[in-house]
Each structure stands twice: as C-alpha cells, then as structure tokens.
A = this chain, B = another copy of it.
C-alpha cells in the first residue's frame, strides 16, 4: 500500500484569516449557528477528509471589538455534528489544567459512542493568564501544567479501560446485564488526582478517543512523543518542518513507540484561486481588511511583544527568543520577521492568515505541489487545513485540491475505515485490565 496523506479540516468561525468576518463571502452571524458547522462537516466529509477539529480556550481571547469571537464550546458542538455525518472524525480541544479527568473521560467516551467511533481529543494545558482567572487559581507554571497533564492522561486512559470490551453480557433470561469481574475500579491515587472509578459510561467503539497534541515546546514534544497519536504544529519553512518531524519521531523510541504511531500534521492556510492572480487577489482583499489594532493585540497575546501603532512601519524591535517553556510560538514569529526582514505591518499581515501557521496562495495545483513537497520530503504525514474564509475556503479545497491529490495517488477516494482511528491507520488500544488478566492467566498456565 502506498503511503497516503491525512487531512484534517481545522474549523474556526467564519475563517482563519483574522479579517474573514469582514469579507463579503462570509456571514459572521453564523458564528453561533450550528447549521454553519454542520455544513462545514458535510463539506469535509464530501472531500473524504479524516477529521474536523475545533480549537478552544476557556477565556475570551483576542479583541472582540475587531473580530468575530464568542462561539460554541467544541464538545457540545461536535455532538451535533456527529448527528448529521457518518464518516468524518470529530476532534475537540479540552484543557487538562481546568478540568477533572472523570468528566473529560466520560464526555469523550459519550461522543465516541454517539459518533460510532469518531471522537478525538486535542489535549491542551491552557497557558493563558485570563484562563486562570476564570477558575480562581494562580496560573500554574509550564512544568506544573505538563506534570498535571501527564497524570490526567493516565487517569483518563484507566477510566476508558475500566470496562473491558466484553463486560456487557446482556443476558436478559438469566438476569445478568454485565460481568462485574470485567468492570474495574481504577483506584488511582496520584499527586494531582485521586479517582476511584470505574467510569459510568461503557467502553466506546474506539476504546480511547484519538489523542492529539499541539505543543511545540520541549515539554510539549516529550508529551506528544509519550501520548499523542496525531500532532498539529506550526512550521513556516520546509527545513523547520523536517527538523520538527525528525525530532518528534526520534523521541518515540524512548516510550516504546514506533515511527508510524504518531502522525505529524503541520498547519497550512491555503488561499485558493482558479488562477494564481485570483488567489493573490483574494489574499489582497483579506489583507486590506486587517485592523492593525487587532493584529497588535494578537501579536502581544501570541508572543508577549507589546507595540503601538507608531511602530507599524519599523522593524520588529530586538527581543529575546529563548525557547523556554511556552515560548515556541514567540520564537517562530521573531524568526519569521528577521529571516524575511519584515516591518511590523508586514509581519502582522503574515500572521493575520494563520497566527503563525504557513499561508500559501495559489492554484489548486500549486497548493497540491506544496503539500506533496512536504509530505515526500519528510516534513509531514498530512496537514491541518486552515481555510482563510468559511465555508468557501473549505469547499474550494475539497472540490479543487482534493481531486488533484487523489489523481496524484496521495489521498484516498473513499473512507477505508469505520472509525477515526481506522482512517488514521492507528490501532485500537486494548483495555489494560483485560491484558492484565490474560497475562496472569499465562503465568498461571506456565506454573
């Protein structure tokens, strides 16, 4: 079987470009309209994409004065998308810092049941100060957040395993619904959590939801190497993409994992035209709608660099770029400005499309060339597609780029699997408790 690439549609309001809501082809009033997202999910499914994905934070981030913010909570929304689709994977962002593992395990198990095995969890640790203030705590350090996240994952995985696959007997004649010997308290007692279990939702079609991660710091990459099955990442150049890809794959062995156990999906915002000129015109239209005050606020949020409008036509001031802790996005932004010798205004224009993700304008063939280049050159197992405007940017991708990828033999014509894991080519994890009993039985036999 030839290696095929995997495609995820990253859904964000009416588009990833920060001025999307001002573009005449979008309808910002649809930000809280479930039919908008149902339409997007159906378009992605028409294109045989692996999954749709919703980012999230637990505070009102960004300046709502100048952008369409304040949309829907991802898990709640994805359940409504599950109801109108059959194949597309459904990936929700949920924080490990401000949640309890019992609730999170249960909601993903429920979404996995509801969708017939299509749930995925993008695990984030919530770096923001505003988020901490919505939960009455002092913002924990980067290291503390990742330590909590690791234990959180241990607990949720135990809870998902707490019902073995064959625990339900359903013997109505004898009156036995379940074999309670196959439903296990987890009795987890750790530094951050103490959870008895078992879960009160039975084991779901995928066993565990697909585990996704997007941190690019040292802690983030180690966490991904240990737990993640798909990684979303922002990489501006092919060389950086190759380095990240090789680095992350190299870390897997330490956790007993294989190269193919993790898919790496760099983000890309494709600005598509039937001609290159048309694509560049759309890019220019969006650029003309950018509000500098909004871009400066975003820059400050992403990098901590606070500037006023007076600074727009000068270069980015000198700032330290040490990648300590959560600063990986800051380094990417500063590197971009220096490498291309950008003024602050030019930098804001470059960030407006994808908040640091790569933006590529061109014909469907040119976009496909870019995807193919990264895929073949060891920088990607697939891509996180971030359409500049929605739904138009997604339907353009599905109707024009996907067929080009198919004809090149790079992408599927039909869904091959039944679950998200199967479409991503990833195994279904066994229940650790079932494995434990099998092992004990083997020991008993050997004696």
Contact = CB atoms under 8 A, between A and B. Distances in A.
Given A32-B113, A134-B196, 7 more contacts: A22-B175, A68-B170, A80-B80, A80-B114, A100-B135, A133-B194, A136-B195
A22 B172 CA distance: 5
A154 to B, nearest CB: 14
A193 B133 CA distance: 10
Interface stretch (A54-62, A259-267, A278-286, A417-425): A54-62
B64 A183 contact: yes
15 contacts: A21-B177, A22-B175, A34-B113, A34-B114, A60-B200, A64-B180, A67-B177, A68-B170, A71-B201, A71-B202, A72-B113, A79-B79, A80-B83, A80-B114, A98-B100
Interface in A25-60: 28-29, 31-34, 38, 57-60
Nearest to A178: B64
Contacts of A64: 177-178, 180, 183
Nearest to A114: B34
A114 B81 CA distance: 10
A183 B60 CA distance: 10
Copies of this chain in its oligomeric complex = 2
A359 interface: no
Nearest to A78: B79
B102 A58 contact: yes
A134 B201 contact: no
Contacts of A109: 73
Nearest to A58: B102
Contacts of A179: 65
A204 B100 CA distance: 26
A166 B286 CA distance: 27
A111 B76 contact: yes
B82 A82 contact: no
Contacts of A32: 113, 201-202, 204
A198 interface: yes
A107 interface: yes
Given A79-B79, A84-B83, A195-B136, A163 B70 contact: yes
- Select the residue from A21, A33, A168 with max chain B CB neighbours within 10 A: A168
B73 A34 contact: no
Interface string A139-183: 000000000000000000000000100001010110111111001
- Select the residue from A28, A82, A202 with max chain B CB neighbours within 10 A: A202
A311 interface: no
Interface of A: 21-23, 28-29, 31-34, 38, 57-61, 63-73, 75-77, 79-84, 98-100, 102-103, 106-107, 109-111, 113-114, 130, 133-136, 163, 168, 170, 172-173, 175-180, 183, 193-202, 204, 289, 291
A193 B83 CA distance: 35
A202 B80 CA distance: 18
A283 to B, nearest CB: 18
B22 A70 contact: no
A43 to B, nearest CB: 17
Given A76-B107, A201-B70, A102 B65 contact: no
A74 to B, nearest CB: 9
A395 B201 CA distance: 26
B60 A176 contact: no
A180 to B, nearest CB: 5
Given A32-B201, A77-B110, A110-B77, A195 B134 contact: yes
A99 B141 CA distance: 23
A165 to B, nearest CB: 13
A65 to B, nearest CB: 5
A21 B172 contact: yes
Contacts of A82: 34, 80
Contacts of A68: 170, 177
Contacts of A60: 183, 198-200
